[in-house]
Structure 1
Amino acid sequence: MVSSTPRPELMPVLLGTDVGTYSCARMFHEAFGCRSVTVSGQSRGSISYSSILDNVYVGEGGTLDDELMVSTLLKIADTDRTPILMPFMDRDVDLVLRHRETLTEAGYIIPLASTEIVERASDKAVLNSLCESLGLPTITTVDIDLSDPDASWQELLQPITFPAVIKPKDGGMAFGRLRFAGQKKVYSAASADDALAILSTIANAGFTGSMLVQDMVVGDDTYSWIASGYVDAAGTVTAVAMGRQVLGLHQSSFIGNAGIIHVTDRPDLREIASQVVTSLGLRGFFSIDIKIDSRTGEPHVLDVNPRWGRGSYFTAVGGVNLARAMVADFVDGVALPPRVGTREGIYAFVPPLAILRWVRDRALRTHLLRLMIRRPPVHPLSYRRDPNIKRFAYRYAADANQLRALISSYPTPSDTAF
């Protein structure tokens, strides 16, 4: 629903082309009726043929560098509107933080915490220590420095009880700038030999940072939860919603992203998320992944993303508009009372009936089917105020492609979700 007080002077400037980019523009449009601008290297169906977006394509063949991106952003900011810069990927957050002073001087509102806090929030080792200090369950973790040629990886891996997961220590900023065969956001290793092979592949690709090897929190997709929200200048979480990941995207480049989310409040996990963001001193958007270990029932905080998450539109399904919370704080300087998403619903970026194949819990499956009858699932790309036959066709083609990719990469659900 569009706000009763439209604010066309607001100009969200979005870095990206995917569903997260469009759903952010949609949330701003629903709240304020304003048009957004996207900046990217190439056109993609998620943002094409839209009446709520103005697309700016820069670079040849999608090749972008700091100088080109910053110069383009400075040109866009030369307007009477209020530019709000929204990075979605780790590499874009990295770029914005490097050039924050220049962009701020040009008039950009940048709803990110300080560089130090963003880096702390993205550091998996810091997160593990923080959870320990808060009395939350922790995960056995070893730090493998790939820049040290003399390190004995075999010995370092001894504390790990396999299966394990392997991921970049810094949250993927430097790792994400690499491109190599077999690259994944998160790897699974069934044994120490598997882990050594994965680490060797990453090192041979030229990565000289640290990789974390962690004991795996066992459980299929439905044991994973997401807390997305906004924390204001006073450190108050003014908007938050919880979602249970019903089905994740299992293609190598999308691991960690949700395809179907059951939006339903979970106060105990929401309190954990609040404790984490408060302890980190975060400001702005956040998305936190929490997984329940199917063996123990204990919740483990897996990741903290100090930015808008790709699937954060699920909060709107729950009745919370994160854009409204951010504008009140960063633009208007108004302290809003906390708002929690309590409206139950389903966010679905893949065909929702996929639950018939991938949800093993019969009671949960029945509940979700009945919920879909009461309230149709919400697709982030299907916005009634932005109708276009080409967008309609793209949405259904994308649904089919996602379903085929899931069948290929994750044909049946597993206890590890890998």
Structure 2
Amino acid sequence: MPSASATDPGFDVVVLGAGLNSLNLTIAFHQQYGMRCTTVVRIPVAMNERTVTSDLITLGADATDEDMRDALIDLASQRPAGRPALLLTNADSLIDFIDRFRGDLEQHYTLAQVDAALLSRLADKAEFAEICQELGIDTVPTVIVDFSRAGEAGWNGHEELPWSYPVVGKAANTAEYHHVDFPGKKKVFFLETPAEQQDLVRRLRESGFTGRFLFQELIEGDDTAQRSITAYRSSRGKVTLLCAAQVLLGEHTPEALGRPAAMVTGDFPTLTAAAEKFLDAVDYVGFANFDVKVDPRTGRECFFEINPRIGRNNYYVTAAGEPVARHVVEDRLHDRDIDQVVVTAPILYTILPLRLVLSYVRDPALRAHVKQVARRGLRNPFRYRPEGLWLRAYSVISGANFVRKYRAVYPRPTDTGF
């Protein structure tokens, strides 16, 4: 469990998963409570080994899900009797892991994620779109291809899409897609011709993929048309946290396409209102993160998906002045109600060099705003003040590597973000 040198808040926090997904979570708890979390991983990542915000337990690359479950139960047995512990994760596959072993784990940990039935609905982007339509929340026009029915007569996988090209392709369920492999696999596909779309259908079939795959009308606009919303809805049925940010630049490597890398927070009332409406309608409990894109032609705010977790870049909320850790601790551990907080303070969150970010912001007014915000509040999780020199050096090296990556895969901003 956490080392004795850290502040003891009277509870423990165990975070599953490696990389920035977990680092941003452990920073949130360290900043709010002065504590060190415990991060449990299969394969160690240097940032999790070096951070002052967490102690690391490494299971090994060959560890099975059952091995991870047993390690978590063993870890819990080392706690003093009656001492509570939160079990959190920020990865889709590990959300599924916790859900699958819920019966074993909730005997030892307080869990803070939705139940299996709702998780199954929300993990599917097609289901999400259907719920949005029922609530009058704008979404992206979508064709759903169900690969479990590929052998049936009348299967729509070979049908022509009803829009002009290019179109976007992505799996409906990220966790299902995680387990298949095929040449050219990407998180999101930008398909410029019907031939490319049909070639992708063929590769998905040959890979053994049996989930649902979405083909969507392309909503134009570069990365600055994207929005991110982070929220928490308590077990009492109240949304206590809402924060939205405008994406400035996302990652563009095939395995990370779509991940925001620089964002500026602000006041986005229509977005936060829609997110609250959605969470209330499905009786959601826990952290959630929404991906949205604003159609530059119409101003329409198109909701793409909900992630049933806090989101990789959640530090933008804590950095803007509202500690995300407080919401889950007060709700799940202290059993206390707290007033709703809608975060609107402007800060610039980035894991990229500022000069690189600004070079991709084409709108002069937005660029001027970002410069102004950066002078007052620029936050990089690798430069979290209590961290040592290693992570500060990592931020410099990582920034230089990002410059090289963008030159190679996305040398200049485009009207589509692809």
TM-score bracket, normalised by the shorter chain, equals over 0.9
Cα RMSD (Å) of the superposition? 1.6
Instruction: Name the counterpart of 1:193.
Output: 195
Quote the Cα distance in structure 1 between the aligned partners of 2:94 and 2:301: 30
Quote the Cα distance in structure 1 between the aligned partners of 2:397 and 2:203: 34
Quote the Cα distance in structure 1 between the aligned partners of 2:284 and 2:411: 38
Shift of 1:378: 0.4
Amino acid at match of 2:410: Y
List aligned pairs for 1:87-106, cutoff 5 A.
87-105=89-107
3-state SS, counterpart of residue 343 of structure 1: coil
Question: Structure 1 residues 283-292 or 35-44, which shifts more?
Answer: 35-44
Quote the Cα distance in structure 2 between the aligned partners of 1:213 and 1:399: 33
Quote the Cα distance in structure 1 between the aligned partners of 2:164 and 2:115: 36
8 A Cα contact 1:317 1:343, kept in partner: no
Amino acid at match of 2:159: L
Shift of 1:12: 1.4
The partner residue of 1:180 within 176, 179, 182 is 182
Question: Structure 1 residues 396-405 or 148-157, which shifts more?
Answer: 148-157
Amino acid at match of 1:404: R
List aligned pairs for 1:243-392, cutoff 5 A.
243-375=245-377, 377-387=378-388, 389-392=389-392
3-state SS, counterpart of residue 111 of structure 2: coil
Instruction: Name the counterpart of 2:43.
Output: 42
Question: Structure 1 residues 93-102 or 211-220, which shifts more?
Answer: 211-220
Percent identity of the aligned residues?
28
In structure 1, runs of 5+ residues without a counterpart are 1-5
Question: Structure 1 residues 96-105 or 149-158, which shifts more?
Answer: 149-158
After superposition, what is the alpha-carbon deviation per residue over 1:222-261, rounded to whole angstroms, capped at 9, x for unaligned?
0111100211012211012110000001111112211100
3-state SS, counterpart of residue 287 of structure 1: strand
Instruction: Name the counterpart of 2:3.
Output: none
After superposition, what is the alpha-carbon deviation per residue over 1:358-415, rounded to whole angstroms, capped at 9, x for unaligned?
111111111111221233x10012221232x222222221222222222211111111
8 A Cα contact 2:144 2:213, kept in partner: yes
Amino acid at match of 1:70: R
8 A Cα contact 2:234 2:286, kept in partner: yes
- Structure-2-length-normalised TM-score: 0.93
8 A Cα contact 1:144 1:210, kept in partner: yes
3-state SS, counterpart of residue 252 of structure 1: coil
3-state SS, counterpart of residue 50 of structure 2: coil
3-state SS, counterpart of residue 46 of structure 2: coil
Instruction: Name the counterpart of 1:3.
Output: none
Amino acid at match of 1:36: C
3-state SS, counterpart of residue 289 of structure 1: strand
List aligned pairs for 1:105-124, cutoff 5 A.
105=107, 107-124=108-125
Amino acid at match of 1:398: S
Shift of 1:334: 0.6
Amino acid at match of 2:167: A
8 A Cα contact 1:34 1:52, kept in partner: yes
Q: Does 2:161 align with 1:158?
A: yes
Q: Does 2:145 align with 1:134?
A: no
Instruction: Name the counterpart of 2:4.
Output: none
Shift of 1:154: 5.9
List aligned pairs for 1:217-236, cutoff 5 A.
217-236=219-238
3-state SS, counterpart of residue 48 of structure 1: helix
Instruction: Name the counterpart of 1:416.
Output: 416
8 A Cα contact 2:382 2:394, kept in partner: no
Quote the Cα distance in structure 2 between the aligned partners of 1:407 and 1:139: 30
Amino acid at match of 2:125: K
Instruction: Name the counterpart of 1:72.
Output: 71
Amino acid at match of 2:169: I
8 A Cα contact 2:289 2:308, kept in partner: yes
List aligned pairs for 1:45-64, cutoff 5 A.
45-59=46-60, 62-64=61-63
Q: Does 2:172 align with 1:169?
A: yes
After superposition, what is the alpha-carbon deviation per residue over 1:21-47, rounded to whole angstroms, capped at 9, x for unaligned?
111101001111121111112221221
Quote the Cα distance in structure 2 between the aligned partners of 1:158 and 1:344: 41
8 A Cα contact 1:23 1:381, kept in partner: no
3-state SS, counterpart of residue 309 of structure 1: coil
- Structure-1-length-normalised TM-score: 0.93
Quote the Cα distance in structure 2 between the aligned partners of 1:109 and 1:144: 37
Quote the Cα distance in structure 2 between the aligned partners of 1:263 and 1:378: 11
Quote the Cα distance in structure 2 between the aligned partners of 1:356 and 1:390: 26
8 A Cα contact 1:9 1:34, kept in partner: no
After superposition, what is the alpha-carbon deviation per residue over 1:278-331, rounded to whole angstroms, capped at 9, x for unaligned?
222211000001110112210100010011200111111221111100010011
Quote the Cα distance in structure 2 between the aligned partners of 1:202 and 1:187: 12
Instruction: Name the counterpart of 1:405.
Output: 405
Quote the Cα distance in structure 1 between the aligned partners of 2:11 and 2:258: 31
Shift of 1:161: 3.7
List aligned pairs for 1:207-222, cutoff 5 A.
207-222=209-224
Quote the Cα distance in structure 2 between the aligned partners of 1:116 and 1:83: 24
Shift of 1:20: 2.1
In structure 2, runs of 5+ residues without a counterpart are 1-6
Quote the Cα distance in structure 1 between the aligned partners of 2:30 and 2:139: 40
Quote the Cα distance in structure 1 between the aligned partners of 2:63 and 2:363: 45
Amino acid at match of 2:241: A
Quote the Cα distance in structure 1 between the aligned partners of 2:8 and 2:119: 29
Quote the Cα distance in structure 2 between the aligned partners of 1:10 and 1:157: 56
8 A Cα contact 1:91 1:177, kept in partner: no
After superposition, what is the alpha-carbon deviation per residue over 1:23-78, rounded to whole angstroms, capped at 9, x for unaligned?
1101001111121111112221221222221100012xx23321111011111111
After superposition, what is the alpha-carbon deviation per residue over 1:100-140, rounded to whole angstroms, capped at 9, x for unaligned?
010001x2111101111112112212222122112222322
Quote the Cα distance in structure 1 between the aligned partners of 2:316 and 2:244: 9
8 A Cα contact 1:185 1:253, kept in partner: yes
